Structures are given as C-alpha cells and as structure tokens.
Amino acid sequence: MDESSPTPAPDGRTAHERPGVYATPGAGFERDTRYLTTRITADGRDGWPVEAGRYRLVVSRACPWASRAIVVRRVLGLEDALSMGVCGPTHDERSWTFDLDRGGVDPVLGVERLRDAYLVRDPRYARGITVPAIVDVPTGAVVTNDFAQITLDLSTQWTTHHRPGAPDLYPEALRGEIDELGDEIYRDVNNGVYRCGFAGSQETYDRAFTRLFDALDRLEARLTRRRYLVGDTITEADVRLFTTLVRFDAVYHGHFKCNRHRLTEMPALWAYARDLFQTPGFGDTVDFVDIKRHYYEVHRDINPSGIVPRGPELRGWRTPHGREALGGRPFGDGTPPGPVRDGERVPAGHGAG
C-alpha cells in the first residue's frame, strides 16, 4: 500500500499499526508519502537504467497500491524482464516478510524481510517499509517505492520489454485526463476509504464518508454512459480505481465503515468492476484471502479480536456484466495477456471461484 511497517510520525504523533499512516487523536488520517522517488528509466537519468533481469518487484497481494503494479506488469507482459517477489499478507512492527517462500527467504534477494533491502539503500532509513518496492538485485538495495510513478514507468520506460500486443495504458494524447482523474481517484476514493477507517472523531469520519460517496456517485454517473474511465480502452485510471473497488465489499464496507452502499448496490460501478475482474490481468491477480487477512489481522486498533469474517459471497464477480453494450475495446489494438505464469498464480481457493 503504501503498506509498510509502522514508523514514527514526523512530528511525534502516534503511529498506527498500519504501514505509512498516522493520525492525531480526535483529528484526521494522514498518509506518509515520503517515498524513495529515484526512477528506473530507459536513459538511466537517475543512475538506474531499465535492464531486463536486473530488478525485482516486491509486492503483497493484500495491498491495493502494490496490486496496481501486479496488474500493470502482467498486462504489459513484463514477467521475463522484471521478476516478482510476493510477501505474505501480514507483517510485524519491523517489516513485510517473505513468509510465503520456502524457509521464509526470498529466493532471489536472499532476505527474510523487505526491511533489509531498504537498509542496504540507506542504513539509517526511518520511513515506512512499503510495498510495492523495486529492488536492484545485484546490490540488494531498494531503488524506488514511489507506487504511483512505478506503474507509469512500467508503461513508458520499459516499452522495449513489453510483450507483443501489449496495450498502451498511458496513451500520450489522454495523459492529461488520466492524470486529472487519477488524482481525484487517489484523493477521494483510494485514500478516501482510509480516511473513513482511521478517522479520529465522528466529525472527521462524517466528513470523510461524505467525500468518499460523493466521489463514488460521480464515478457511478460517469460509468453509466461509458465502459472505461478515459477513452474507449483500459488505461492507468482504470487500474487505479479497480484495486479499491475489488476490496470494497470484502473490507472497506465493514472494516472501514464505508457502508452507505455496498459495491454490489451501485449498478454501474459493480458492473464495471466485474468487467475488469473478468479481463485477463485483473481478477486473476486478486487474492481475497490475503486481502481480508491483512486488514482484519493487522489493524488491531480497529479489529482488536483479529477475527477475519467469512463473507462476503464472491461468486458474483463471475456473473455477466453486460458492459460490452457500451462499446470499447479492452486492449485497444493490442491483445490480452496469456495465462498466468507458473509460480505466480493466486493460490486455489483464494480467488472468486
């Protein structure tokens, strides 16, 4: 997520157990956005040139911010150029861990904790240990954890390594509209659910709740008349909205008190989310078990018992959505990605059937 292990807030406020976020009692939620902003680019302007096999993308499928990178990497076909390490859904106060791997050690980086790669980059690193992060394999150092820039660079800087038929998720002619809408989605929806969940007072919760559902109402109206958010193909904007929508009923509706409506009660958004979920590269990356375990087990100040709810029913994600009637071409002049690679499939029983 910007999901990380807890760090002291910059001004001494109490840090939440959630990664990279903090709040003042009685006030509102804030997110620690002090990222490592060095970029991996085609020209290597920051000292990190695009190079197949050199870097490792570290993610957790629990995390909506990391899920963006998982989707974009798969849709663009970057599996051979950029390997992926997957952390488990929970973490302790120190770091995300590679507890899904044999012996609890990432087989490429040779470390148990993502924190180790941050400390190679900066031995005095005191910010959030966040995912997604891209690590330079030869040195073992984190290059960047700037989640918003990571996916844009995968689209624009890694083009030499895109699969044949990869779509353009960030077309130059639409970038202004994608950026403007993406900023609104981040501010009012992606981050908006957190403002509700971690509100420190009734007043701040009420304000956050209204802001979130006002934004969802605007998106509902927009998606009633068009299949995708910008243009007639899937773009970066759709990726950014999808990773929040797919978690909405499973965690945000109950756990974060975002409960004016379930996603399933918002007709256009629910059909839109199912359309994307059933598109190769989207739903086949979603791990509902990891998602629920992370939120309900880690956020003990919100859910002290750590009990993970059994619901909601997930079979609806596979039902017909009817969005084809609005036109649009999911991958434009490109093609869908092929089957999920061996070793990268969501475990059986963790998806939507």
Instruction: Tell me the catalytic residues.
Output: 63, 194
The 3-class secondary structure across the chain, one letter per residue, is: CEECCCCCCCCCCCECCCCCEEECCCCCEEECCCCCCCCCECCCCCCCECCCCCEEEEEECCCHHHHHHHHHHHHHCCCCCCEEEEECCCECCCCEECCCCHHHCCCCCCCCEHHHHHHHHCCCCCCCCCECEEEECCCCEEEECCHHHHHHHHHHCCHHHCCCCCCCCCCHHHHHHHHHHHHHHHHHHHCHHHHHHCCCCHHHHHHHHHHHHHHHHHHHHHHHCCCCCCCCCCCHHHHHHHHHHHHHHHHHCCCCCCCCCCHHHCHHHHHHHHHHHCCCCCHHHCCHHHHHHHHHHHCCCCCCCCCCCCCCCCHHHHCCCCHHHHCCCCCCCCCCCCCCCCCCCCCCCCCCC
